[in-house]
Amino acid sequence: MTLDHDPSDLLPLVDDYRSNQCFVHPQTCRWSCGNQCAHPAPNESRNDYFGDVARRYISRRRLLGFGALAAGMLVVGRQGVFGAETARAQSGGSSSGLTFTPVRLDDTDRIIVPPGYKSEILIRWGDPLFLEPATGFDIDAQTAEKQARQFGYNCDYLGFIPLAPNRALLIANHEYTNPELMFRGYDDKNPTKEQVDVELQAHGVSVVHIERHPTRGWRYTLGAWHNRRITGTTPMRFTGPAAGHPWMRTSEDPSGYTVLGTLNNCAAGITPWGTVMTCEENFHQYFANNDKVADKEKQAVHKRYGFPGGASERKWERYHKRFDLAQEPNEGFRFGWVVEFDPLDPGSLPRKHTALGRFKHEATSTVIAKDGRAVVYMGDDERFEYVYRFVSDGRYDPNNREANMRLMESGTLFVAKFNDDGTGRWLPLVAGQGPLTAANGFPTQAEVCINTRRAADLVGATRMDRPEDIEVHPQSGVVYAVMTNNSQRGTSGKPGVDAANPRPQNRHGHIIEIIPDGDHAAATFRWRFLMICGDPAKDKGTYFAGFDQSLVSPISSPDNITFDRRGNLWISTDGQTSSFKKNDGVYAVPVSGPERGYNRQFLSAVPGAECASLIFSDNDDTLFVSIQHPAEGTTLENASSRFPDGKEPRPAVIFIRKEDGGTIGS
C-alpha cells in the first residue's frame, strides 16, 4: 500500500495558516498548560528540523512499499500474546462493525450522540464519595474539607477496572481547576486561602465504585469501600534513581523521599498488574519566582521545564511556601513524575517513580515484552518535546502482583528518534553513555531522571508536535501516538517540518503508528501516519490513511484514545472550540480493513468543554466520556454552558448506551 496523499503537498500551505499565536482559548491556556504558548517553547535544542524531509520521506516510502507493514504487525499486546482475534484483525477483511450514523460538529449546549443512543450523567464535580460526614455539594458553601471528600474538578483521564459482573472501579484524574467557574466573584489578583485550599483538594485522582443496574444503567456507589480521593496534599513517596537525591530534598522533607500531593494529572494508564499510573503534566504553573532562585544550575533546569519568573497565575505561593521557588527551589523537582497507586487498596501509599523520567507526562501505556519485561510508552506534551519508552529491569510475573508493583523502580529510559525514511530508533538515556557525561551535567542516573528533557536534547531525539496519548493496539501491538497540534511548527525561529511532523503551523494535529521491530523491547521500529487531522473540505493537508476524504468527519486536536473490542480506534478531542469554533467531540475510526481511516464523529460536547478522555465498559455496551471544563473562557456569573444540570457548569463523567442495549458503535 502506498500513501494516496503526498505530505510534501503540505509545504506550500504555510501561507494559508495565519498566525503563530496560541489558538487554544485563553482560559484553557491559563489554567491547563500555564500559558505554555505565551512564552517561548523551552526546548531550544537543534535536534531534527530538516526543512524538506517530508519530500524525502514520501519518495523513500514509495520505494520501500509499506504494504509490508500490515503483514508485519506484532502479535504482542496488552496481555501478552493474542490468538484468533489477532489473526482476524490482521486479515484486513473483517468489518469494523461501526454502523452508527455520524453526528456533525455543533456549538449548542447539549451532548449530541447518534440516533438510537442516549447519554446520561454518572458523576459530577462536588458529588460526595463518602457517607460520614455528609458532604453534599453547595457551590456557595464549598470548603477544602468537603472537597477532599467529593469528586474533584475537571475529570480528565478515565480508567475502567472490572471487579465483578456489573461492578467496576472508575478512575478519574482531576487535572486542574478553573477558579473563575468554581467561586462566585473570583478575584484572580487576590485569591483567598480557602479558595486555594479547595483547589488543592479538587486536584488529583478519584477512585469511584460504580454499579450497572439492569434498566437504569450505571450509578456510582456513595460510601463504597473502594472510593478514594488522592489530592494535592496526599502523602506519597519517591522510588528509583532520583529518590533522596540532594535536589529532591526540601525543608519539609530533608530526606528527599516523601512528597505531598500530585498535580495536573492529565492522562494515565492501567498496568497489566492492575495498578494505575497517573501522570503529572503542566506542573510548572503552580510554582513562582524562578527568577529568584539563587542556584543558577537549578534555575536553568527549571527554565527548561517552563517555570515562570515572578508570581504564578494561581498565586498559591502566597499561602504555601513550598510553591515559592525562591524559598523552596527543590520543590519543583518533586513534580513532573509518573505516580503509581493500587486502586484495590484505598490505604496504599502512591509512589512517584523517578526511573520513568521527569517531563510533562501525558499518559502511560504498559505492555509486556516477549521476555517478560514491562514496557511503558509515554509522551511529553509540549511543543517540540519528545516520545519516550521505559523498559523495566525486572520481569512480569502473572502470579506475583507484589513483585510486579516494583517493576517501575528500575529500568532503562529511552527517547524516540523518527528517521525520515519511516524507520526509527529508541535512544537510551543512560548516565555515562554518549553525551550524558558528568561534564554535561549527568554524573549519575539521578540527574538524567530529574533533567530528562536536557538528556533527550543531547542524544538527538526528534522534536514532536505535542505528544498526547500513546496507546498500544490490543490485538496488533501497533503503538498509536497522538500529536495534538503545534501552531509554531515552521514559524520564524522555530523548527521546521520534518518527516514525522510534516505540517507547518500544525493547527489540527496528527496520529502516528509506531510498529516495533518484532517486540516492544526492540531497539528499532518503523512508523507511518494514520491521520493528519483537519477538515478535508477546507484543508488540502489532511490525510485519513488513504480513505475517501469526502466521507470522513472533520476532526481537530486529537487528545486521548482508546480501542473498542473489535480493535477500532476511538478519539476524544481538545481544541475544536478554537480551531473549528465548534464543540469538541468523540470520533471512531477503523485502523485495519477496507474502512481503515474512515473517521466518523460519534459525540459532540458542550461549549467551552474538552472531551478529555473515554473508556469502554468490559463488554462494550457503554462508553464513558469525561466532559472537562464546561463553560471555560467565561465565568460562573456569565457561563457559556449550564452542563450538566441546567445550573452551574460542573465537569462531569457521562456514559453513553444504545437504547436497545447493543454494542457501542453498531
Which letter, b or e, does each residue of 544-577 get, where b requires 16 or more Cβ atoms within 10 Å of its Cβ? bbebebeebbbbbbbbbbbbbbbbbbbbbbbbbb
Smaller CB distance to ligand FEO: residue 324 or 559? 559
Name which position in 106, 197, 253, 281 contacts ligand FEO (CB under 6 A).
281
- CA-CA distances (angstroms) from residue 478 to 86, 195, 510, 527, 641? 12, 45, 16, 9, 38
Q: How does DSSP classify residue 16?
A: G
Q: How far apart are CA 246 and CA 440, in angstroms?
A: 18
Smaller CB distance to Ca ion: residue 48 or 559? 559
CB of 26 to ligand FEO, least distance (A): 17
**Contact code string over 413-452 relative to ligand FEO, x by CB under 6 A:** ----------------------------------------
The answer to the question of residue 362 lying near ligand FEO (CB under 6 A) is yes
- Interaction partner, residue 603 (Ca ion, ligand FEO, none; CB < 5-8 Å by kind): none
Q: How far apart are CA 534 and CA 579, in angstroms?
A: 9
241 closest CA partner among 355, 356, 407:
355
CB of 199 to Ca ion, least distance (A): 18
The set of cell numbers assigned to 41 is 517553547
Who contacts 24 (Cβ-Cβ below 8 Å, separation ≥6)?
A: 32, 37, 575, 578
CB of 559 to ligand FEO, least distance (A): 6
The answer to the question of residue 293 lying near ligand FEO (CB under 6 A) is no
CB of 109 to Ca ion, least distance (A): 20
Smaller CB distance to Ca ion: residue 598 or 602? 602
Smaller CB distance to ligand FEO: residue 331 or 559? 559
Smaller CB distance to ligand FEO: residue 381 or 595? 381
- Interaction partner, residue 175 (ligand FEO, Ca ion, none; CB < 5-8 Å by kind): ligand FEO
Smaller CB distance to ligand FEO: residue 330 or 506? 506
Residue 19 burial by Cβ neighbours in a 10 Å radius (0-12, 13-18, 19+): exposed
Count of residues near Ca ion by CB under 5 A: 4
Which letter, b or e, does each residue of 184-193 get, where b requires 16 or more Cβ atoms within 10 Å of its Cβ? eebeeeebee
Name which position in 253, 342, 381, 648 contacts ligand FEO (CB under 6 A).
381
Name which position in 331, 468, 595, 632 contacts ligand FEO (CB under 6 A).
468
Q: Can you spell out the DSSP letters for 37-96?
A: GGS--S-----S--TTHHHHHHHHHHHH-THHHHHT---EETTEE--HHHHHHHTS-S--
CB of 584 to ligand FEO, least distance (A): 12
The set of cell numbers assigned to 524 is 528499532
The answer to the question of residue 511 lying near ligand FEO (CB under 6 A) is no
Smaller CB distance to ligand FEO: residue 96 or 628? 628
Name which position in 317, 342, 382, 574 contacts Ca ion (CB under 5 A).
574
Smaller CB distance to ligand FEO: residue 542 or 560? 560
CB of 85 to ligand FEO, least distance (A): 31
**Hey, CA dihedral for 420, 492, 302, 444, is it positive or negative?**
positive
Name which position in 559, 584, 595, 632 contacts Ca ion (CB under 5 A).
559
Smaller CB distance to ligand FEO: residue 89 or 483? 483
Q: Which amino acid is at 98?
A: L
CB of 157 to ligand FEO, least distance (A): 9
Site for Ca ion in 449-508 (CB under 5 A): 468
The set of cell numbers assigned to 510 is 496528527
CB of 559 to Ca ion, least distance (A): 4
- CA-CA distances (angstroms) from residue 237 to 118, 352, 353, 546? 43, 6, 9, 48
Q: How far apart are CA 319 and CA 145, in angstroms?
A: 17
Smaller CB distance to ligand FEO: residue 175 or 535? 175
Site for ligand FEO in 142-181 (CB under 6 A): 175
Q: How far apart are CA 7 and CA 613, in angstroms?
A: 29
Neighbours of 63 (CB within 10 A): 10
Smaller CB distance to ligand FEO: residue 282 or 290? 282
- Interaction partner, residue 281 (ligand FEO, Ca ion, none; CB < 5-8 Å by kind): ligand FEO
Q: How far apart are CA 258 and CA 237, in angstroms?
A: 4
Smaller CB distance to ligand FEO: residue 34 or 240? 34
Smaller CB distance to Ca ion: residue 505 or 577? 577
**Residue owning grid cell 498559591:** 316
**Hey, CA dihedral for 634, 144, 574, 419, is it positive or negative?**
positive
- Interaction partner, residue 535 (ligand FEO, Ca ion, none; CB < 5-8 Å by kind): none
**Contact code string over 261-280 relative to Ca ion, x by CB under 5 A:** -----x--------------
Neighbours of 79 (CB within 10 A): 11
CB of 634 to Ca ion, least distance (A): 19
Count of residues near ligand FEO by CB under 6 A: 7
Instruction: Please check whether residue 487 is in contact with residue 507, taking contact to mean a CB–CB distance below 8 angstroms.
Output: yes
Q: How far apart are CA 321 and CA 310, in angstroms?
A: 14
**Contact code string over 195-234 relative to ligand FEO, x by CB under 6 A:** ----------------------------------------
The answer to the question of residue 127 lying near ligand FEO (CB under 6 A) is no
Instruction: Please check whether residue 616 is in contact with residue 471, taking contact to mean a CB–CB distance below 8 angstroms.
Output: no
Q: Are strands 351-353 and 235-239 parallel, antiparallel or unpaired?
A: parallel
Site for ligand FEO in 539-578 (CB under 6 A): 559
The answer to the question of residue 266 lying near ligand FEO (CB under 6 A) is yes
CB of 363 to ligand FEO, least distance (A): 8
CB of 385 to ligand FEO, least distance (A): 10
Q: Which residue ranges make up the site for ligand FEO (CB under 6 A)?
A: 175, 266, 281, 362, 381, 468, 559
Q: Which residue ranges make up the site for Ca ion (CB under 5 A)?
A: 266, 468, 559, 574
